[in-house]
């Protein structure tokens, strides 16, 4: 748990640096989101592991739904800009969910009916939303900073599991993972430099390094896989 007033005060002291690095992080985020949608459509597969789609949509969506908290409660430029950025992020994540519904049945439930698959996917998201809101209550994360850490860290290992199963670049590309690596590097650097405690302490810095390194490792692994047509 951190004191949001102290964190926002630290952010105010480093406004330009945070706007630059977090702005770059969001640009890389949007680039890889769009690239993932295009690659998934091209290869006719869902591009994001299902758990990540659930996790990100539940987390980002819950922040977007808390509009009054950011604009009437905190009323601070940082959270207001993040809210705006996440509106576009949630739109992309809804597209990922729609792509899972469209392309995912042959991988996730090949022997089920279409109705069963759709029902299970939507029910899974409802469960994810309920669980996420309970987890957020437990971790004490008023500004969603810890959530962003967890969301970023979850990406590489879950993506690696999908790559190991598919054994091709189906639904992904080197560009996607280079942008993902740059995104997390920018975000974690800003947190370590300018968000104050506890975000510049060793228990936080170690996951920053781990996530950036594993993201780069996934980018390297993807570059060495054959294209989807080779499967």
Tens digit of pLDDT for each residue in 161-182?
A: 999 999 999 999 999 999 999 9
Which token pair is 30? 């949007």
CA distance 226 to 231: 8
Model confidence band, residue 229 (pLDDT cutoffs 50, 70, 90): confident
Q: Do 142 and 200 touch, CB atoms closer than 8 A?
A: no
Mean per-residue pLDDT of the chain: 96
Q: Do 104 and 121 touch, CB atoms closer than 8 A?
A: yes
Question: For 135-227, where are the E strands, in sequence order?
Answer: none
pLDDT of residue 231: 43
Express each pLDDT in 68-89 by its tens digit: 999 999 999 999 999 999 999 9
No. of helices (H) and no. of strands (E), the chain? 10, 0
Q: Where are the domains of the chain?
A: 4-230
Mean per-residue pLDDT for 216-231?
88
Answer whether the bond into residue 214 is a cis peptide, omega within 30°. no
pLDDT of residue 230: 46
Reduced to 3 states (helix: H, G, I; strand: E, B; else coil), residue 148 is: helix
pTM of the model: 0.95
| Cα distances (Å, whole numbers) of residue 155 to 44, 98, 158 | 21, 19, 6
């Amino acid at each position: 748990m951190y004191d949001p007033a102290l964190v926002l005060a630290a952010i105010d002291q480093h406004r330009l640096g945070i706007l630059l690095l977090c702005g770059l992080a969001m640009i890389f985020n949007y680039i890889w989101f769009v690239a993932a949608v295009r690659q998934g459509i091209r290869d006719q597969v869902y591009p994001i592991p299902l758990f990540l789609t659930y996790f990100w949509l539940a987390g980002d969506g819950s922040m977007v739904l808390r509009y009054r908290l950011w604009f009437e409660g905190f009323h601070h430029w940082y959270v207001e800009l993040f809210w705006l950025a996440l509106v576009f992020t949630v739109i992309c994540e809804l597209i990922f969910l729609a792509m899972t519904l469209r392309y995912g049945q042959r991988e996730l439930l090949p022997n089920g009916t279409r109705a069963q698959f759709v029902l299970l996917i939507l029910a899974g998201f409802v469960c994810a939303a309920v669980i996420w809101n309970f987890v957020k209550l437990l971790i004490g994360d008023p500004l969603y900073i810890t959530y962003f850490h967890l969301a970023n860290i979850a990406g590489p290992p879950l993506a690696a599991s999908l790559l190991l199963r598919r054994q091709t670049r189906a639904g992904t590309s080197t560009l996607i993972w280079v942008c993902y690596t740059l995104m997390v590097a920018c975000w974690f650097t800003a947190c370590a430099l300018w968000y104050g405690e506890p975000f510049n302490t060793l228990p936080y810095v170690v996951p920053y390094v781990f996530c950036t390194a594993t993201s780069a490792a996934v980018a390297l692994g993807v570059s060495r896989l054959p294209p989807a047509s080779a499967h």
